[in-house]
Amino acid sequence: MTIKEFLLRLKLERGIGYQKSLAILTKLTSLSAVNLADLETLPEQIKELAIKAYSNPKHPHTIDLLTKQCKIISFFDKEYPDKLRQIYRPPLLLFAKGDISLLKKPITTIVGARQAGSYTQQALDAWVPRLSQDYVIASGLAKGADRFAHETALKYHGKTIAVVGNGLNHFYPKENQLLQLEIIKHGLLISEYLPDTPPRPFRFPERNRILAGLSDNVIVTEAKSESGSLITANYALYENRNIFALPGSVFSPLSQGPNELIKAGACPLLNLETFYDNIH
């Protein structure tokens, strides 16, 4: 059995999450193929689960359906992005629709608040036409800044990646359905979750580590002090990515997050010259 099929079986098996999958993988003697003899040598606490996943007669049909719905990239595939391999808790599987070659290109992630408005849109209209010549623009397909980032990249004929906190068969939020389909057609939609997985609040912070991990640079536009965008920025900081923030009025709640990032050492994004002068 290939390692990708075995990872899919682990993903499908009830009672096996990320940590147990990782524990099983680290104990295997070979990561090119898996057989029952390999699994028999595992420690008792994970052996039974691994054998159950390997032998479950329901999994082949489900895997066949999955491969017809989307592209599946395992941690061990050449298509898996190198930058993502380096992060803490890299996803073992990625489910994708669209152009997976974009994962190997330079990427700038743009994130911000769902309430982001004209200030974010004005900045993106000024900078994305040039940025999208050099970088794929990634974001999280949420309302507000994420939507602006994807739409502006597409508007100026750039490429964009959406990393979602649900399965690819869901449209969340609903009003982004047409945009999601457009991204699949002209960019890439990815998730670490099985395609029918519904959106849940805890999945979005998990998604943010992938957004940060894929990127060379992270730009935060407008964001409140407790915004999820700051989670993405913190992941990016931990992974030694370039972090930029759009400075704003001290009286605007949506500028509190970027201003705090700048105070903590992020580069204030005043214009594109400051961006290109501060990338490494």
76 within some domain = no
The residue behind tokens 């974009």 is: 102
pLDDT of residue 128: 97
Q: Are residues 252 and 181 in the same domain?
A: yes
Name the residue range of residue 235's domain: 100-277
> What are 42-53's pLDDT values in tens digits?
999 899 999 999
Based on the fold, state whether residues 53 and 190 are members of the same structural domain. no
Torsion sign (Cα): 176, 177, 180, 185? negative
Distance CA 116, CA 223 (A): 7
pLDDT of residue 30: 77
Residues 123 and 33 in one domain: no
Q: Which domain CATH number covers 161?
A: 3.40.50.450
Shortest CA distance to 266 belongs to which of 255, 278, 276, 254?
278
Would 258 be classed as within a structural domain?
yes
β-bridge mates for residue 191, sequence order: 95
Number of domains present in the structure of the chain: 2
Based on the domain organization, do 57 and 133 belong to the same domain? Answer: no
pLDDT < 50 positions in the chain: none
Q: 125 with 237, same domain?
A: yes
Same domain, 247 and 128: yes
Look at the pTM and tell me if it is higher than 0.85: yes
What is the per-residue pLDDT across 175-202, written as a single tens digit (0 to 9) for each?
999 999 999 999 999 999 999 999 998 9
Same domain, 147 and 272: yes
Q: Of 48, 69, 90, which closes a domain?
A: 69
Same domain as 166, residue 41: no
pLDDT value of residue 32: 80
75 falls within a domain: no
- Assess if residue 193 is contained within a domain: yes
Q: Are residues 151 and 58 in the same domain?
A: no
Task: State whether 62 and 117 are in the same domain.
Answer: no
Q: What is the pLDDT of residue 29?
A: 77
Q: Specify the pLDDT at position 260.
A: 95
